[in-house]
Chain A
Amino acid sequence: GAGVSQTPSNKVTEKGKYVELRCDPISGHTALYWYRQSLGQGPEFLIYFQGTGAADDSGLPNDRFFAVRPEGSVSTLKIQRTERGDSAVYLCASSSPPGTPSTDTQYFGPGTRLTVL
């Protein structure tokens, strides 16, 4: 597609449930990022993939959060045993391969708004 897409756009779940959020990056982009944006705040980095592997997962808040990118394209962010504090907009971004122009520029999707009741 033309840009980064994320599904669903909205997700409402109950405390303790498991959720999966999907990100489809720009075609040809090898790098993929997940951020979390709480109300009134700027995005906070969660994890970065280069290809299929997580190159930096230092932003994941705890072991309830996990992300995969098995074929180096689509990524899924998984949250187990959701808590009310997980409510936020989850943003995905992608960037072009190293050595290409604008490789350091991240292009963001519209986000998934997660509400944990």
Chain B
Amino acid sequence: AQSVTQPDIHITVSEGASLELRCNYSYGATPYLFWYVQSPGQGLQLLLKYFSGDTLVQGIKGFEAEFKRSQSSFNLRKPSVHWSDAAEYFCAVGQAGRRALTFGSGTRLQVQP
């Protein structure tokens, strides 16, 4: 069965600093990988996704993520964080032929002024 680990429950960064949120997955074949963001009282918004091809993917709001098969990782990065980025971030994995996504437990990002 596939699984997703987000090792950091809570991260605090200063506004303008760089950000990296970690995601490790367990799945035998090439996974479909996603990052979603959830603001309080809001639904999940898709930031970016990886299905195949270029392992560095660009998303909305200046986010990017890199798929590293050797490390089973799909870390999310942003060079300069804005206060509006404070939210909960979820990594998710899917697989070809099965629509159900498996989510990690999330990382809560706090941004200090």
Contacts and interface: CB of A to CB of B under 8 A. Distances in A.
A91 B32 contact: no
B94 A108 contact: no
A105 B105 contact: no
B103 A42 contact: yes
A: contact size bracket = 20 to 34
B75 interface: no
Contacts, number: 60
A35 B49 CA distance: 19
B46 A105 contact: yes
Interface of A: 3-4, 31, 33, 35, 40-45, 48, 50, 55-56, 58-59, 91, 93, 95, 104-111
Interface of B: 4, 32, 34, 36, 41-46, 49, 51, 90, 92, 94, 98-106
Contact of B100 (A58, A91, A105): A58
Q: 3 nearest interchain CB pairs?
A: A42-B103, A45-B100, A108-B44
B105 A40 contact: yes
If over half of B's interface residues share one DSSP class (helix, strand or loop), that class is named, otherwise mixed; here it is strand
A108 B103 CA distance: 13
Contacts of B92: 42
Given A48-B100, A56-B98, 16 more contacts: A4-B43, A41-B105, A41-B106, A42-B4, A42-B90, A42-B106, A43-B44, A45-B101, A59-B100, A91-B43, A104-B51, A106-B46, A106-B99, A106-B101, A108-B36, A108-B43
B8 to A, nearest CB: 14
Nearest to A49: B99
A8 to B, nearest CB: 14
Given A104-B32, A110-B41, A48 B105 contact: no
